[in-house]
Amino acid sequence: MQTTMTKAKTSFVLPKLPYGENALEPTISARTISFHYGKHHAGYVDALNKLVEGTAFAGRPLEDIVLQTAKDPATAGIFHNAAQVWNHNFYWLSMTPGGGGEPAGKLKRSIESDFGNFKDFRAAFTKAAVGEFGSGWVWLIVNRAGKLEIAVTSNADTPLTDGKKPLITLDLWEHAYYLDFQNRRADYIASWLDKLADWRFAEKNLA
């Protein structure tokens, strides 16, 4: 799901969800999706449009903006909003109704090669996600050496800016789970892994 542009290529628009707002229930409620997607994600899109208007970034592809504004204090506002738009686009695609469980095919073989087995990968992924202090994201990525790796980024940061390839991500900001799980982040992570993670999406990204 890519953020699309208007015909004039001057503004980003909120991409359509790949499923209905109630499709991820009972793990993630329609109420959470309504706030998360309809308020938070939409808010980042709106803010990004205002920030890039009249700048050299207007009309640029989203990923280019993320990469070009990263780690530059002068463009921090643009980066934070562009990266959050990109991260959220990727997050919605990282889930699917009836997902979760263990992956298959090439992804399974790669996980077994780089983590030993899926159980060990799951434990490491969970530990990283639970251990992130505050807001952020946990990712399964391909590192620069071509190996699978678990990465945690804070706030709006993304592995893209370190030259790493994201395969799947889980949003650790409280607005992603608080209405359904309150402060039980570990339960949210376990439910996501058991019921929602779209391993087929991750495998497509691995190719």
Evaluate whether 167 touches 206 at the Cβ level (below 8 Å). yes
Total number of domains constituting the chain: 2
159 in a domain, yes or no? yes
Which residue would you say has higher pLDDT here, 5 or 111? 111
40 in a domain, yes or no? yes
* pTM, entire model: 0.93
pLDDT of residue 198 exceeding 80: yes
Q: How far apart are CA 79 and CA 138, in angstroms?
A: 19
pLDDT of residue 3 exceeding 80: no
pLDDT of residue 2 exceeding 60: no
| Per-residue pLDDT tens digits for 89-125 | 999 999 999 999 999 999 999 999 999 999 999 999 9
Q: What is the pLDDT of residue 4?
A: 41
Boundary (domain end) residue, out of 93, 113, 142: 93
Residues 51 and 75 in one domain: yes
pLDDT of residue 9 exceeding 70: no
133 in a domain, yes or no? yes
Q: What is the pLDDT of residue 207?
A: 80
CATH number at residue 56: 1.10.287.990
Residues 190 and 142 in one domain: yes
Residues 87 and 127 in one domain: no
142 in a domain, yes or no? yes
Q: What is the pLDDT of residue 11?
A: 85
5 in a domain, yes or no? no
Residues 127 and 194 in one domain: yes
Work out the number of other CB atoms within 10 angstroms of the CB of residue 41. 23
Residues 138 and 177 in one domain: yes
Residues 179 and 87 in one domain: no
Q: How far apart are CA 145 and CA 147, in angstroms?
A: 6
Boundary (domain end) residue, out of 93, 114, 132: 93
14 in a domain, yes or no? no
Residues 120 and 145 in one domain: yes
23 in a domain, yes or no? no
Mean pLDDT of 149-154: 98
Q: What is the pLDDT of residue 10?
A: 52
CATH number at residue 202: 3.55.40.20
Give the domain extent around 191. Answer: 105-206
Mean pLDDT of 163-182: 97
Kindly indicate the confidence band of residue 6, based on its pLDDT and cuts at 50, 70 and 90.
very low
pLDDT of residue 145 exceeding 60: yes
| Per-residue pLDDT tens digits for 27-86 | 999 999 999 999 999 999 999 999 999 999 999 999 999 999 998 999 999 999 999 999
pLDDT of residue 1 exceeding 70: no
% of the chain beyond a pLDDT of 90: 93
Residues 38 and 69 in one domain: yes
pLDDT of residue 202 exceeding 50: yes
